[in-house]
Amino acid sequence: MRAWTILLAGFLLAAPWFATSAQEPKTKQSKPQAAPVVHGINPANLDTSVKPCEDFFKYATGGWVAKHPIPPEYPRWGSFDALALRNQEELRGILEAAEKDTKAPAGSIERKLGEFYAAAMDEKKADELGIKPLQPELQAIADVKDMKGLAKEAAILQHHGVNVFFGVGSEQDAKDATEVIAGFHQGGLSLPDRDYYLKDDPKTKAVRDAYVNHVTKVFELLGDPADKAAAEAQTVLKLETALAKVSMSRVERRDPKATYHPMAFAEIATLTPDFDWTLYAREIGLPEIKGHINVGEPGFFKGLAAELKTVPLDDWKTYLRWHLVSRYSGALSSEFVKENFAFSKTLTGAQQDLPRWKKAVSATNGAMGMALGELYVKQYFSPEAKAQVLDILHHIKAALREDLETLPWMSEATRKAAIFKLDKIVEKIGYPDKWRNYSKLEIKPGDYVGNLWRASSFEDARDLAKIGKPLDRTEWGMTPPTVNAYYDPGMNEIVFPAGILQPPFFDPKADLAENYGGIGAVIGHEITHGFDDQGSQYDAYGNLKNWWTPEDLKAFKERGQCIVDQASQYVVDNDLHLQGKLVEGEAIADLGGLTLAYRAYHMALGDKPAPVVDGFTGDQRFFLAFATVWASSTRPQFARLLATVDPHPAARYRVNGTLSDMPAFAKAFGCTAGPMAAAKGCQVW
């Protein structure tokens, strides 16, 4: 339930109905290659027909993009994805070895990982079983007779990873970061965002039409007659649209104060009185609530109450049935998997489904990610790499401290609090100090759906058990092989999994310019999140608490508004612009992070001149390394999806938008005019 600010949103997260899909298509499939390791800047990645002062993104990455077209099974392809594929291939090797290891003791993580992966790979058995693995729960839904039964079934489904009605989980108390409380938040939608239900432009309407057709076909696969299936699909759309109408927008939810509403557990019943919260809490395994809970969006729960009062029970049962099958259909027989992918094409533009092994690796990582990560770091991450990354990190923190000490627009009171917060940031590099215990997770050979069902229950129980207990600050929110990073404002920590600490981000054999422009920009990005539009509202200990003077806060917000206005001008697809307020935090982090990395790079150089390599100065290679990280191309459908749900700007604007605000870039490439000249750039940090 934490509101992390992360470096890059993973595209599978945007479409959960096919994330666990495990069917390989019969058509011939391309085989994108994992990213080859090239030390330093590769001149072949450039497109020198483009002037760097006109479009640096294309100049720096055009050669790479031309040589790496989007594979048909992906909605986007870039440096992130190529590195993620290399990590995925390494995980595949670990899992295949575990699958073949007959000497692994029963109950060991090697045995559990091997058995989970083997079950996920068994396409033949999935086809033989069809819908049978879900029949007991489908029957339980059919047996619901009243509102009490509806509350009980909702708890069972949520406990097993099915997104119905709302979300519940543990979260830090925003006003007392040492405590873990229960948080209840809006949910219950199948499409990626509420806007897909509410917007009336032709492309959004086309997605809704395709969605209704998809739901209809899934109900037909369950054995319903065509006319009944079509009516059921309309019921699902109607109910989800009603929930979308009472949901807060992503922009509204970016304000942490807007989603913090502490109240006694009994008070939630006043918001949704027709829902049996006592029965629900008992069924889902919610611990006894002695203090308060957080109801993130009270208006949503009031809106849900109105629907529960008026919508017939049979319609809610149709809704539950759809969500159950949608969540698990990727692990069912071929016809369900094919139908899942058919609809995902509408949202992402991908032309072919992923091969079975990739989805099996992802599913295993999703179920037992820390166990898999434990085996991964033993093979692929060295203590020496960790030490080098920490050295870069400490230079960047020193650069921010120097900046905070000299900012002319910041008063001494705010300056003192900001430096104190910087000093309190916790650094997590590579992998956690202690590993998660999976001894209570039961994995059965050949039972893919059952394993997913039990893994979801295991994770939900682990999460709920934290409620009412002191905060565990050693916990990680990403697995070690993940190609990503994050800042958690409640924990005031920066986290860099081992998976991202590889080329093109970090290379022990590259020089300072490349590493500071690559992983240095990533580190600076995450540190800056502690001082962006969201992170700046939390103090050094992770409490939602103002530490700004009124004058300084006004000055900070004015600088942030410059970023919002700039980003809002960027066009994603035809008439679709970025949502400036949605991407504000990430754009601030991109600009602040690269600015800090640049200063830290020169601190690390000391009095030594940077070498000229392949005709590029150190500063030029620094900026080229930054752009290389974002080398990518995206299908139009997926670009529109990301513009709706993703708080990160599109890759082109993460490069051009950020660099157009940096005088150091303009100086490095001699940009005196044009889009990259930084004549009137924004500056926050």
In the predicted model, is pLDDT for residue 219 greater than 70?
A: yes
pLDDT tens digits for range 221-243: 999 999 999 999 999 999 999 99
Question: In 19-165, at which residue ranges do the beta strands (DSSP E only) sit?
Answer: 76-78
Residue 463 has pLDDT above 60, yes or no: yes
Average pLDDT over residues 170-198: 97
Average pLDDT over residues 270-297: 96
Phi and psi (nearest 5°) for 506? -140, 135
Considering the candidates 339, 590, 619, 661, report the single residue annotated as catalytic. 590
For the residues 365-394, what does the mean pLDDT come to? 93
Nearest CA among 24, 631, 643 for reference residue 358: 24
- Return the closest-CA partner of residue 584 out of 505, 518, 653: 653
| Residue pLDDT, tens place only, 607-665 | 899 999 999 999 999 999 999 999 999 999 999 999 999 999 999 999 999 999 999 99
**Model pLDDT for residues 109-119, shown as the tens digit of each residue:** 999 999 999 99
- Look at residue 287 and tell me whether its pLDDT is greater than 70: yes
Q: Tell me the per-residue pLDDT of 98-108, one tens digit each, with 9 for 90 and over.
A: 999 989 999 99
Residue 34 has pLDDT above 70, yes or no: no
Instruction: Give the start-end residues of each E strand in 613-677.
Output: 632-634
Question: What pLDDT, in 10s, does the model give residues 324-333?
Answer: 999 999 999 9
Mean pLDDT of 122-133: 97
Mean pLDDT of 272-296: 96
Q: What percent of the chain has pLDDT over 90?
A: 89
Strands (E), 28-94: 76-78
For residue 516, give the nearest of 604, 588, 607, 404 by alpha carbon: 604
Res. 338: pLDDT tops 80: yes
Phi-psi map region of 264: left, alpha, beta (phi>0 left; psi -120 to 50 alpha): beta
pLDDT at 509: 87
Average pLDDT, the chain: 92
Residue 681: predicted pLDDT: 82
Cβ distance 354 to 22 under 8 Å? no
> Would you say residue 205 has pLDDT above 60?
yes
Which residues share a beta bridge with 293?
Answer: 263
Burial 401-434 (b: 16+ CB within 10 A, else e): eebbeeeeebeeebbebbeebbeebeebbbbbee
pLDDT for the residue 12: 29
pLDDT score for 240: 98
Among 473, 646, 510, residue whose Cα is nearest residue 576: 646
CA-to-CA dists, residue 219 to 107, 144, 169, 303, angstroms = 38, 19, 30, 27
575 is catalytic: no
Tokens of residue 385, six digits: 């790499």
Query: Is it the case that residue 37 has pLDDT exceeding 60?
Result: no
Which pLDDT value is given to residue 685?
87
Number of H helices, E strands in the chain: 27, 12
What pLDDT, in 10s, does the model give residues 4-16?
A: 566 654 332 223 3
Q: Stretch 425-442: mean pLDDT, rounded?
A: 96
The residue from 276, 526, 552, 619 that is catalytic is 526
DSSP single-letter state for residue 500: G
Residue 422 to residue 400: CA distance in whole angstroms: 8
- Domains of the chain, with CATH numbers? 136-331 (1.10.1380.10)
Judge whether residue 1 has pLDDT over 70: no
**Residue 300 pLDDT exceeds 80:** yes
Q: Is 674 or 321 the better-scoring residue by pLDDT?
A: 321
pLDDT at 450: 98
Report the distance separating Cα 308 and Cα 34, nearest Å. 50
**What per-residue confidence (pLDDT) applies to 604?**
95
Question: What is the reported pLDDT for 25?
Answer: 30
Q: What is the pLDDT of residue 250?
A: 96
pTM of the model: 0.91
pLDDT at 121 over 90: yes
Q: Quick one: which H or E segment has residue 183?
A: strand 176-186
**173 part of the active site:** no
Q: What is the pLDDT of residue 14?
A: 29
